[in-house]
Amino acid sequence: MVLVRRLIPSSSRVFDSIPSASCLQMIPSLPEDIYVTIFRWLSLYDVLSVRKVCRSFYSITRLRGLWISLLRTEIWAHNIPTPPHLDVDRLNAAQLEKWVKTCLLLHRNWTSASPIVRRRRYIAVSEPQARITSLHFITLDGESCLLSFSLMSRVEPRMLTVECWELNTLKCIARRRVQWFGGYAVNSDPNGTGLTAIRTPHVEVLAFDSSASSPDSAFVTLFTLSTEARSILCLAGTTMIFRSPNNDIKMLDITRPPYEITLEDNNPAFQNQPDSFQAIIYDDYTLILRTKTLALYALHDFRAGRHPPSVPLSPVQLFEFPWRIDSCCMERQISPSSARHGHSNSNDVTSKSKPSTINILIRYSSLFPWPVNMLHHFILHPNPSYVPLSSSDGSTSISPSVSNNTNDYSSVHMTINPNNLPYEFPPVSSQTIVSPVRLFAITDMALGRYGTAVWLDSHTEDYFYHGDVGQRLAGIMLLEPSRRPSPCSYSSSFAAERYNIRGSGDEIEGREPEASTTGDQNSQRAASIVFAAHESDDWNRVAMDEGEGRVAVGSVTGEIMIDDYAEER
């Protein structure tokens, strides 16, 4: 470090002010590999500064190993999103430097108060006047795609159209029209079996066939399940959760459909009331967010086929919210370690990583005005003393076990029980976000794995000077309390300045720094990001891709707006 300080004084801008001849006199003669080791301790800004000193340093700062190190320290360590298809092993030094620059530029724009739309495009679904019911960003054969579901609302029989759009060309590469019988689910595991499950009236699991001759034949049926389902609620890997005709919540594995179990559910379904449902499924447990509760179920006996189908599976842990939930999102927070190992976009149900922090965003349904006009952010923290199941016991789980005293993996066999939970209950109420909604207005929300929350609300007075019509697409960066910024975490901002990005640190276009919250107090905040606003009420669905810097907004007229916030590569 003494040598580093000799090369880079505390100002860290020495090479911008000292003539080159003077700089060369300061530099000791050392082997190149020693300089490479030294440069790994430098920030990105300093690396770009020493590049200007001499030809030798210029060559060293073009080495691939150095940019791999900078990718870890400047991007992954700060949870800056990277594209899901980014294959670091195939990139050379120049390409790595380009991606570091691209990620910093996108992150700077994405987290600003008013992100600049680099490109706006529109898609119209094939059926005229179809209502968008959901949007999903996916990756197929290494290409970014958008999966859209649209429903004919005024024609009987009602038809559901599933379309997959290749986002580079906005070309529809797959399409399937089915009669609407109630319910579908997109596979949350990108490596799972099948892309989506739809009730047609049987349950069909669809996959994409890249060799199909036309879009109408590109969706192929992998499985047709004869199980009786009223609606499909969730699909993760090969695990499907659905509602039976008598309103029971059931679970099955699509590779062995005759065996299904009932999940104990104390949330009665009321007519004309929102029936929200979110689930995160792992190999040995699942978390289910319902209209009033958050429940954790142990799945070891289900995976082994030992749980009696006639006996409902009771939750190991249950938390009840103060009001019924109108709409909600639940998403795992990506950690720097998982991003570093290439799992930044994987929702693999058999993931070997330790449990991730889970962000929960809720809008309550209530006759009182204040719960409805607020978004409530809860955090479900991993239990540090949790010991997962080991694969050596013959179970289907391949999750490694973690010792209570260290982070090393062990072979201890522990089942999930009230004394060995993967998460700490109850969830922590972290913050409330002001988000006013007019009576009967349409709202939607989405959560990203890097902590971005986006939603639709009715706060338009600041833009159109009237509040009786219009919608706002707003967002916020959810800051996990245990991961507050440290002084060294702002080196990326200096590099961003070097790359001619406006602003530095948290002072972005006059925006105040994000407030840190603590686990035992709830703070109230307003939206810190406004992506868009318009003087109409036809937006109804929103989706985002943090890695690519995209937001998609669907409408009740069948039009989809796609905004790109990353500069064209």
At 207-263, the pLDDT tens digits run 999 889 999 999 999 989 988 899 999 999 999 999 998 889 999 999 988 899 999
The overall average pLDDT reported for the chain is 80
Round to whole Å and give the CA distance between 232 and 247. 12
Return the pLDDT at 518: 39
Asked if residue 398 lies in contact with residue 350, where contact means CB atoms within 8 angstroms, the answer is yes
Cβ atoms of 444 and 474 closer than 8 Å: no
3-state secondary structure of 57: helix
Neighbour-count burial for 362-382, b at 16+ CB within 10 Å, e otherwise: bbbbeeeeebbbbbbbbbbbb
pLDDT of residue 367: 72
pLDDT at 554: 95
Q: Out of 175-184, 193-202, 356-365, 479-488, which region has the weakest mean confidence (pLDDT)?
A: 479-488
- Is residue 540 predicted with pLDDT exceeding 50? yes
Average pLDDT over residues 19-33: 64
- Give the integer Cα–Cα distance in Å for 465 and 555: 23
pLDDT at 74: 87
Confidence bin at 106 (pLDDT 50/70/90): very high
Say how far apart CA 34 and CA 53 lie, in whole Å: 17
Share of the chain above pLDDT 90, in %: 44
Residue 455: the pLDDT is 95
Say what the pLDDT of residue 14 is.
42
Mean pLDDT of 428-455: 91
Q: Given the structure tokens 């500069």, which residue do they identify?
A: 567
User: Is the pLDDT score of 21 beyond 80?
Assistant: no
**Residue 304: pLDDT above 50?**
yes
The mean per-residue pLDDT over the stretch 349-360 comes to 75
**Banded model confidence at residue 320, pLDDT cuts 50, 70, 90:** very high
- Per-residue pLDDT, 528: 87
Q: In residues, how long is the chain?
A: 569
- Whether the CB-CB separation of 242 and 260 falls below 8 Å is answered with no
Q: Tokens in use for 179?
A: 């009669």
Q: Which residue has the higher pLDDT, 368 or 424?
A: 424
Q: How many Å apart are CA 537 and CA 439, to the nearest integer? A: 12
At residue 339, the pLDDT reads 55
Strands of the sheet with 550-555, listed across from one edge:
119-124, 559-564, 550-555, 539-545
How confident is the model at residue 523, as a pLDDT?
74
Is a pLDDT exceeding 70 seen at residue 497? no
pLDDT the model gives residue 467: 64
Contacts of 442 (CB under 8 A, 6+ apart): 456, 471, 537, 539, 540, 556
Q: 29-33, 430-434, 500-504: which range is least confident on average? A: 500-504
Type of residue found at 238: T
- The pLDDT-based confidence of 513 (bands split at 50, 70, 90) is very low
- Indicate whether 272 pLDDT > 90: no
Judged by phi (left if over 0) then psi (alpha if -120 to 50, else beta), residue 394 lies in left
Alpha-carbon separation of residue 514 from 26, 119, 187, 478, 485 (angstroms): 41, 27, 33, 9, 10
Q: Given pLDDT bands bounded at 50, 70 and 90, which one contains residue 436?
A: confident
